[in-house]
Structure 1
Amino acid sequence: MFSCTSNDDADVVKHTGCLCHRPEIQVLTRRVNTGLSRRGFVAGMTTSIASLGLSRHATALAVPAPPSRPILFANFRLFDGKSSSLREGVRLLVEGNRIKAISTGNPAAPDGAQVIDCGGRVLMPGLIDAHWHSMFASLPLSNLLTGDIGFIHLAAGAEAERTLMRGFTTVRDLGGPVFAFKQAIDQDLVSGPRIYPSGAMITSTGGHGDLRPLSDVPRSPAGPPSALEKSGASNIADSPDEVRLRVREQLFQGASQIKLVGGGGVSSPRSPLDMSTLSEAELRAGVEATEDRNTYVAVHAYAPATIQRAIAAGVKCIEHAHLMDEATAKLMADKGIWLSIQPFLTDDDTGVLAGPSRIAQLQVFGGTDNAYNLAKKYEIRTAFGSDMLFSEKLAARQGTMLTHLTKWYSNAEILTMATATNAELLGLSGPRNPYPGKLGVVQENALADLLLLDGNPIENIRLIEDPAKNLLIIMKDGRIYKNALQP
């Protein structure tokens, strides 16, 4: 058993807002741990909540009911997700989960509509994080490797609520047992962002994400899955046929895109950044299986050789790429490859790691500036992702990571990247898109994900660093999860 902090009385007092520390959830955790499977989690959680006499409102943030009447926003300045300046003199009408109309002038509100006077503040689309780990963002790695999957889902529920309250209404999940958790959010059991799931990341023996104990080695080809693989965190594949099988399994479960691990990583101490893991043939098998399902592959890769191998295999999106060189950047631009990169600058962004992970961490810090400069020089299509892992404190810096981009971009460019541009990347899912509709923009018929800021983020992007103070309204899917304008 584990929790997000120690379980002594002092910590419980300090974390009264955390779902994990509620007494009824502690009881629920023990019930969940008695035998819920990953696939049966949602049904089991609902039964356990009912048996404890709890309702959905037992969570720190109740999921609001679908709106029963139109909502009219008035008296605001609009950042629409694409323009570099704000629009004034418009009204915005939300009906159901869509933006029904954006009108100039002062048209009358529809009969029965709720009118929200925004007081001249800035209205903008919900933020999108293109590289998030819903299950792994806030819990220490040691707990994730030993804890029961049911409790991990419950703790992830608390973090999902915090993610939404930071203004991130959509995330692309790049690895983890997230299918049941996404279902819980979609079915209003949990408050959280929309999730574009990858499912288990697919890696090779010894690759990034292979966190098995050495007692699990040797692995027999087509042998039984390890405990790590059974958890849904990652899958081991050591041939094109195995990659193809593992890809199809994730797509079968509902993956909107696939994540393949092409090279080493920071959090896997046995996989240095310079190594390549999956062969070109293995990567190509994954791409072909994914394209058969009309979606795309994102590849974890830092080193130039690994990135170039992935591109040769037909991959459409590279994750990280902090060590890329000029030739690799030019190749990405020429081929129209997406770059999903994180602005890691100092230990404040990641914590201080040890051993081989520390070496890799410093390499990433050292390569970040060059990678962004190359992305700008060659006009690579670049997405923002934060990739926060294993710490509630670090996860809370999700918005701060976005503001790091001022080193390379204007505030308007940053806002566009985290809204309309990231939404374009999500659109690569094609018919596997779990949320059909326009995201990341404020326009008619777009999905109604909206934020109201107490200030102008085009002038001061750092407003996003303090969402509790500066985000006055948070709407996702037409539902208002926060309204600080109400008395």
Structure 2
Amino acid sequence: MACRCGAPQTLAAYRRIEADLSRRELIGGAAAVVGLFAGFGLAPSRAQTGEPGRPLLLTNLRLFDGQELSIRDDVDILIENGVISALPPKGQGPAEATRLDCGGRVAMPGLIDCHWHSTLVSVSQVTALTGDIAYVHLLAAREAGATLLRGFTTVRDVGGPAFALKRAIDEGVVAGPRIFPSGALVSQTSGHGDFRMLNDLPRADRDPLSYPDRVGVTAIADGVDEVLRRVREQLMRGASQIKMMAGGGVSSAYDPLDSTQFTEAELRAGVDAASDWGTYVCVHVYTPKGIQRAIRAGVRCIEHGQLADEETIAMMADEGIWWSLQPFLTDEDANVYADPRMRADQQRVSEGTVGAYAMARELGVRSVFGTDVLMSPGNAASQGRQLAKLTRFMSPLEALRAATGRAGELLAMSGERNPYRAPVGVVAPGALADLLVVDGEPETDLSFLGTPDTSLRLIMKGGEVFRSSL
């Protein structure tokens, strides 16, 4: 019998079989992907709150709006298309709206962490700097879901390859907070973002980039031209603001805490590149010398700065500089160091933290809340508890404002690079519907933030409910 392998009928049958196998493979592959993400706790979990397309009205609530240091009980919250459309007088919302009774609890804006590292928070330093970057991203996606369920609906990511995670969250692939990404940490050679080992030195001009540089953790830049290149690369990737390293740190293997990093001209180059794109530069720095140099170069936000003196803080106030402060205290949430030098530096920063909060308040510097949990598996869970610590330095509602309305003002400095455009951190008409309903009395105490699984009764982001136990 003659071979019929090449006959039109046989080829057509092959195509039908191939198409059917491809379809089955696609379905099976999609199921496997969904199963993988569900196993990691990443599958978005949204609660139905009423008929699609109908407005949602939160009723029977007390409101902290993120701006005023008081709680009111005379309004409801009307939400349409993911945005707060109105605050109608209590009991006077539109009849067609689906109603959600908050049981007399406090409603407030979703929390904002202004110093977060989305991809680096829950991995060890060894994994972050040498491990398979795909594994790092998977862990980051899992942590993003946990971050949202702690009530943090927005984070300002100040260092790390968070662009893909941000996109996945925005597209609904995984659950997580809104991310304002900085991209790679821009650092000089020997700076706080230079994670190379000594046996990697010296580096010749044609040597390949280090692994942390290649995967977007850090961007080493020396000289004005190189700073311009590296900052522009982050802007091209989608940075909403730029993060530069202007001084040493506690955990640094090589750069001492008191070191000043980047020349004023190099810092100004980064500021100019960011300004050309309508956004700003924030810097990691602790010391008066480093802070003052950064301000002269046009930097708009200081990260840390716990060793600042009164003259420097007055300069910050006069220039309208933002201060992203963290409650670095030698307590149960502090990093543990074996090196005596690191322990001594940690103690200096802890003592400086108390004075920094006091002088920021006294001199009128605008401060926001951040945690800076970094390469510390398991410590991310302290996020809400660390916000509650601010009541040592200010009233509970002032602390909440630092993590809501005040933080939203800082994020708005990204201008046209703001990836979300509508305001966050406030409960007001036109703001994004990022809301919490809580079991707690935030006028007097914020300890409920340390137990988010039981205390946060409603978690909403963009009008979607991710937890509801009202």
How does the TM-score come out when normalised to structure 1?
Answer: 0.87
1:276 — aligned with what? 260
Between 389-398 and 78-87, the greater mean CA deviation after superposition? 389-398
- Does residue 229 in structure 1 map to residue 213 in structure 2? yes
Does the 8 A contact of 1:70 with 1:110 survive in 2?
Answer: no
Counterpart of 1:470 in structure 2: which amino acid? S
Alignment CA distance shift 1:48-1:233 (3 Å): farther
Deviation per residue, 1:64-98 (Å, 9 max, x gap): 56954322111011111112221113221111110
2:246 — aligned with what? 262
2:17 — aligned with what? none
1:448 — aligned with what? 433
Does the 8 A contact of 1:131 with 1:385 survive in 2?
Answer: yes
1:383 — aligned with what? 368
Which residue of the other structure, out of 92, 95, 99, is the alignment partner of 1:107? 92
| In 2, Cα distance between equivalents of 1:48 and 1:240 | 52
Counterpart of 1:390 in structure 2: which amino acid? M
Counterpart of 1:313 in structure 2: which amino acid? A
1:458 — aligned with what? 443
1:94 partner SS: strand
Which residue of the other structure, out of 150, 155, 158, is the alignment partner of 1:174? 158
Which residue of the other structure, out of 20, 26, 32, is the alignment partner of 1:52? 32
2:34 partner SS: coil
After the TM superposition, which residues 237-252 of structure 1 pair with which residues of structure 2 at under 5 Å, given as runs? 237-252=221-236
| In 2, Cα distance between equivalents of 1:131 and 1:48 | 40
1:120 partner SS: coil
| In 2, Cα distance between equivalents of 1:62 and 1:68 | 23
Does the 8 A contact of 2:221 with 2:230 survive in 1?
Answer: yes
| In 1, Cα distance between equivalents of 2:68 and 2:206 | 52
Deviation per residue, 1:141-179 (Å, 9 max, x gap): 122122111111110111111111110000000000111
1:37 — aligned with what? none
- Does residue 398 in structure 1 map to residue 379 in structure 2? no
Alignment CA distance shift 1:235-1:53 (3 Å): closer
1:89 partner SS: coil
1:423 — aligned with what? 408
After the TM superposition, which residues 333-372 of structure 1 pair with which residues of structure 2 at under 5 Å, given as runs? 333-355=317-339, 356-372=341-357
Alignment CA distance shift 1:118-1:233 (3 Å): same
Does the 8 A contact of 2:246 with 2:262 survive in 1?
Answer: yes
Counterpart of 1:52 in structure 2: which amino acid? A
| In 2, Cα distance between equivalents of 1:348 and 1:53 | 38
1:298 partner SS: strand
1:119 partner SS: coil
Instruction: State percent identity of aligned pairs.
Output: 50
Which residue of the other structure, out of 275, 296, 303, is the alignment partner of 1:319? 303
| In 2, Cα distance between equivalents of 1:185 and 1:398 | 20
Alignment CA distance shift 1:47-1:406 (3 Å): farther
2:285 — aligned with what? 301
Alignment CA distance shift 1:350-1:222 (3 Å): farther
- Does residue 62 in structure 1 map to residue 62 in structure 2? no
1:104 partner SS: coil
Does the 8 A contact of 1:210 with 1:268 survive in 2?
Answer: no
1:266 partner SS: coil
1:30 — aligned with what? none
Does the 8 A contact of 1:457 with 1:464 survive in 2?
Answer: no
Does the 8 A contact of 2:251 with 2:342 survive in 1?
Answer: yes
2:75 partner SS: strand
Which residue of the other structure, out of 101, 115, 118, is the alignment partner of 1:134? 118
1:7 — aligned with what? none
Which residue of the other structure, out of 68, 78, 103, is the alignment partner of 1:83? 68
Alignment CA distance shift 1:110-1:57 (3 Å): farther
2:167 — aligned with what? 183
Does the 8 A contact of 1:129 with 1:172 survive in 2?
Answer: yes
Does the 8 A contact of 2:83 with 2:433 survive in 1?
Answer: yes
Which sections of structure 2, spanning at least 5 residues, go unmatched? 1-25
| In 2, Cα distance between equivalents of 1:108 and 1:315 | 45
- Does residue 194 in structure 1 map to residue 174 in structure 2? no
Counterpart of 1:463 in structure 2: which amino acid? F
| In 1, Cα distance between equivalents of 2:250 and 2:73 | 46
| In 1, Cα distance between equivalents of 2:224 and 2:261 | 12
Counterpart of 2:400 in structure 1: which amino acid? L
Which residue of the other structure, out of 138, 143, 146, is the alignment partner of 1:154? 138
| In 1, Cα distance between equivalents of 2:70 and 2:312 | 34
2:332 partner SS: helix
2:385 partner SS: helix
| In 2, Cα distance between equivalents of 1:441 and 1:183 | 24
1:129 partner SS: strand
Does the 8 A contact of 1:178 with 1:199 survive in 2?
Answer: yes
How does the TM-score come out when normalised to structure 2?
Answer: 0.90
Does the 8 A contact of 1:75 with 1:89 survive in 2?
Answer: no
| In 2, Cα distance between equivalents of 1:163 and 1:245 | 33
1:95 — aligned with what? 80
- How big is the shift at 1:62? 3.4
Deviation per residue, 1:258-306 (Å, 9 max, x gap): 0010010122221111001211111011111111111000011101101
1:73 partner SS: strand
Which sections of structure 1, spanning at least 5 residues, go unmatched? 1-45
Which residue of the other structure, out of 282, 287, 292, is the alignment partner of 2:271? 287
C-alpha RMSD of the superposition: 1.9
- Does residue 205 in structure 1 map to residue 205 in structure 2? no
Which residue of the other structure, out of 367, 386, 394, is the alignment partner of 1:409? 394
| In 1, Cα distance between equivalents of 2:207 and 2:224 | 16
- How big is the shift at 1:49? 6.1
| In 2, Cα distance between equivalents of 1:126 and 1:237 | 36
Counterpart of 2:431 in structure 1: which amino acid? A
| In 2, Cα distance between equivalents of 1:48 and 1:271 | 51
| In 1, Cα distance between equivalents of 2:263 and 2:93 | 62
Does the 8 A contact of 2:330 with 2:346 survive in 1?
Answer: no
Does the 8 A contact of 1:403 with 1:462 survive in 2?
Answer: yes
Deviation per residue, 1:302-345 (Å, 9 max, x gap): 01101111011111111100111111111111111111110111
- Does residue 433 in structure 1 map to residue 418 in structure 2? yes
